[in-house]
Structure 1
């Protein structure tokens, strides 16, 4: 539950005043509902007795009826305002949660970030955020509103009717309602989590089957995959059935509770009437107020029934929203080496304008070293202008260096959209970057900068996609350029064009490249072979 409380604090802190106003209006709605039913019961009883006594014409019906209309209209207006404020505040809170969550994921190392590119991870993240939207709307605000309303009703009823009636309603509702909700939570926390897990597996499975349909057909595995999805769907339905059964049982016990408390308030009012402590109209107020307070406890079933889903989601989300500690001293030495590498078997001080290539067998750690320099992995022994990459402010570090990983990241959109992810550039700058990447002729043939690319840049070959990502990096003009297999998928002629133009485009940049082929290119001042 610690993770749940952490998420709740984050959601409330996103717009505390709107949350407070929404909570206040929630209490107003419940209090007005109880007052409306209590006044109506008093009014009906008083007018009936006045008619029986033959003094109906002298009975003032205008002020009570005006009070009934005021409470009815006021309750409707308060309900509208409460829904407006709480839903608006919740949407703002979820937007803030998404931003904080994405910032948390952005601080992951390179391996963790690569793991987020699959549809399974994206589906899980979206589903977790959706699950957490009920924390405030269906749990926190309703519970707080119910408790405050019961306390206020207790005080007013004690003053107006009698403390015995008020105590019957308070003691009858609160402990019993808490017990029912605890039992409901215990029964639903596991099936709720199971239903959510099965639902996510089902969505991922459908995506996989749709994407790989042709391969499954050729391998005669489509029926088997469909049967597996049917089994997952059956598991989800079974968990939902258990969840619904527990919620219906809780509703049944709540109905008994409401009837019992109402009868207790009625019997206590009758006793007070018999002892001449109150008159008949006041004696029935407790009955009607007890019936009205059912509105405060019955909606809690839904939120508690989804608690398992919320707890599981909070457990996955909370570790990613921790605040990043800022260094006490984030100054750096502009007079020192631009990049310093000091580790076992490797000591280098590199300056602007140099270019080195890292070679070695696969798995020796070339890509890992580049990610460490980029601040995307443990960076001991690495200094950029005298400071470790992990201690740099994120934006400042990204302004200094750029990295081209082995997997290119493109989006569905135009060529211009893909090149402008890092900023706004004029057409001349975009074409210059494409020329350096030896991609300008290909883009002109496709229709120019406004030519559309499919999802993940589909429509381009692997080599073209890498050169598109390289052109995007060149537009930033970084001081340190990290390249991981930049010539993979390129023929020898294109490789020569790209590497030759690269140095001309960034004459003052420090270039660090990890390569298997092309390591003997004259652009490089030295070659460093990494060993295990």
Structure 2
């Protein structure tokens, strides 16, 4: 990572700190308060010891100083606690904001974009990488201000009583930040490599875990296990590289700090045996002076050491910010989302004129297309795999950018408020997503206020009531619909879709995982449930096409034919060729 990139990433991180400015400011104030009380504490301790040892003052004569020392110590403890609390809240506020920005962009880009990367990679970006910015905002940034103020405060306290000790402190102070910078030069690159390795491991492991059954059937578990082992080893090496730099920097900073304190101690030692007679403005060095400076000397370097210890947090945050900023600033086409209200009380009309569906990079995936879905009509979308059916549906659902006209009830889709538009949509994919929750909770996603009676009616309409009644509505589903067969999961998802009151239903092979008897029963239920809705259905089943009002045939991203089943099947066009090339009543490849 070049210096220019590091500077840009650091600038972006500093800009994000504005989201936690109040808490960062409070953390700095607590740290400054600790520094001020620390000087007072050193003065009180030096005064008490000088009085006991040199002046022969009895302890009972120093009770006010003891009380003051106790109050100062208590005040330092309270400020330390306040600093910890405010520092954490500062990091939490910034992380929450950054995570919200990432989630908002992911929401705008839609599922079509998200599926381009493994789920584990997104999880790493949202969780580990953002989480690893915590120390930068909660520790490093506040410490930068404290590391300047406290040494200056101590120098102001030391120089009036001994200029030689002040010069020693001032002369040795630059050694710590200098070495901190030298060690930290490669830390950002090490952290960046570490995060890349983590993202690779997360995505790789989750994908293989989800596909474990397939790997076992193809006897690839050992080979894939070896790849996971290699990814784990790469992550281990990268992690140890980061830790090595962190431990090295801490050890060397402690060494220089101890060396500097030793120089101060040596100076006072030689002064007390009359080998050095300078530094105290012509007067003899007192025990008070030596104790006061020696009490403050470790505290003089402590903020710089702490800043050095937190310097790896800066490198860690810069390494984490690279992928994050790359994602946030990526020049990709987002699905349009306007703010015009939309409310449908009758079947929706869809019109496409010169419609071109685009990829995130602006490449034309489908189109140009011209078609109309009349209100209450039944339309089938057919074509071989890769013809563009899913891309067209993604545009209609508001998940893909497009050019041209795509109007719903006379309003341009891109100008609508997508949240209101999707309230009017019913959607069932070929591989529906059921969540790790109860059967009831999965159904209530469609309508949270639905009663058990309404849930039962929806389940009956989807031919899912028998197994749902047997298992119970509170039956917990495992991850990826664990505990249900593929057909049961499909019917449960269909019941969830039927539960939603919609005016446009989009179905992607709703009966793909069902037997013929269940398929016919569900199609009959769908006919009844969608009597007052517009339907667009992706299907390969021949016996479902004859009941459709129109068929749209896609090939290589183009609409090559449209019309009624009987008209298309009796012609010599692409649809008739598809029919002649398939057997067994299906258009599947």
TM bin (shorter chain): 0.7 to 0.9
1:434 aligns with 2:433: no
Aligned equivalent of 1:48:
53
User: How far apart are residue 265 of structure 1 and its match?
Assistant: 5.8
Aligned partners of 2:251 and 2:64: how far apart in 1? Answer: 38
- Secondary structure at the aligned position of 1:271 is classed as coil
Deviation sequence 1:336-389 (CA, Å, 0-9, x none): 974221225532343532231111222110110000111111122323345544
User: How far apart are residue 112 of structure 1 and its match?
Assistant: 2.4
Map 1:97-108 → 2, pairs under 5 A: 97-108=98-109
Cα pair 1:477 1:506 within 8 Å, conserved? no
Aligned partners of 2:218 and 2:513: how far apart in 1? Answer: 29
Quote the RMSD (CA, aligned, Å): 3.9
Aligned partners of 1:320 and 1:338: how far apart in 2? Answer: 36
Aligned partners of 1:426 and 1:473: how far apart in 2? Answer: 15
User: How far apart are residue 129 of structure 1 and its match?
Assistant: 2.9
Aligned equivalent of 1:137:
138
User: How far apart are residue 449 of structure 1 and its match?
Assistant: 1.6
Cα pair 2:339 2:416 within 8 Å, conserved? no
Map 1:239-278 → 2, pairs under 5 A: 239-262=238-261, 267=267, 271-276=278-283
Aligned partners of 1:463 and 1:441: how far apart in 2? Answer: 13
TM-score by length of 2: 0.76
The 3 A distance-change label for structure 1 pair 506 and 273 is same
Picking from 292, 296, 299, the partner of 2:303 is 296
Aligned partners of 1:182 and 1:400: how far apart in 2? Answer: 58
Higher relative contact order (CA 8 A, sep 6+): 1
Cα pair 1:337 1:349 within 8 Å, conserved? no
1:37 aligns with 2:42: yes
User: How far apart are residue 50 of structure 1 and its match?
Assistant: 1.9
Q: Which runs of 5+ in 2 are unaligned?
A: 1-5, 272-276, 355-366, 557-589
The 3 A distance-change label for structure 1 pair 133 and 29 is same
User: How far apart are residue 246 of structure 1 and its match?
Assistant: 3.0
The 3 A distance-change label for structure 1 pair 394 and 60 is farther
Aligned partners of 1:484 and 1:207: how far apart in 2? Answer: 26
User: How far apart are residue 252 of structure 1 and its match?
Assistant: 3.8
1:22 aligns with 2:46: no
1:128 aligns with 2:151: no
Aligned equivalent of 1:61:
62
User: How far apart are residue 260 of structure 1 and its match?
Assistant: 4.9
1:487 aligns with 2:516: no
Picking from 365, 369, 376, the partner of 1:353 is 376
Cα pair 1:22 1:83 within 8 Å, conserved? yes
Cα pair 1:38 1:289 within 8 Å, conserved? no
Aligned equivalent of 1:342:
353
Aligned partners of 2:524 and 2:205: how far apart in 1? Answer: 46
Aligned partners of 1:136 and 1:305: how far apart in 2? Answer: 12
Aligned partners of 1:217 and 1:497: how far apart in 2? Answer: 35
Number of aligned pairs? 524
Aligned equivalent of 2:399:
376
Map 1:120-519 → 2, pairs under 5 A: 120-123=121-124, 125-157=126-158, 161=161, 169=169, 172-173=172-173, 175-199=174-198, 201=200, 231-262=230-261, 267=267, 271-276=278-283, 281-282=288-289, 285-319=292-326, 330=340, 338-343=349-354, 344=367, 346-381=369-404, 382-424=406-448, 425-444=450-469, 446-518=470-542
Q: Single out whichever of 100-109 and 353-362 deviates more from structure 2.
A: 100-109
Aligned partners of 1:503 and 1:5: how far apart in 2? Answer: 59
Aligned partners of 1:214 and 1:517: how far apart in 2? Answer: 28
User: How far apart are residue 128 of structure 1 and its match?
Assistant: 1.7
- Secondary structure at the aligned position of 1:453 is classed as coil
User: How far apart are residue 283 of structure 1 and its match?
Assistant: 5.9
Aligned partners of 1:397 and 1:152: how far apart in 2? Answer: 62
Aligned partners of 2:335 and 2:539: how far apart in 1? Answer: 35
The 3 A distance-change label for structure 1 pair 126 and 352 is same
Deviation sequence 1:88-140 (CA, Å, 0-9, x none): 45345444443433232222243323346644543454322332222222322
The 3 A distance-change label for structure 1 pair 414 and 10 is same
Aligned partners of 2:384 and 2:486: how far apart in 1? Answer: 23
The 3 A distance-change label for structure 1 pair 330 and 499 is same
Aligned equivalent of 2:586:
none
Deviation sequence 1:177-233 (CA, Å, 0-9, x none): 332221221133333334444455556666677677787778776666565555555
User: How far apart are residue 489 of structure 1 and its match?
Assistant: 1.9
User: How far apart are residue 322 of structure 1 and its match?
Assistant: 7.3
Aligned partners of 2:393 and 2:336: how far apart in 1? Answer: 23
Cα pair 1:131 1:310 within 8 Å, conserved? yes
The 3 A distance-change label for structure 1 pair 518 and 219 is closer
- Secondary structure at the aligned position of 1:145 is classed as helix
Q: Which runs of 5+ in 1 are unaligned?
A: none
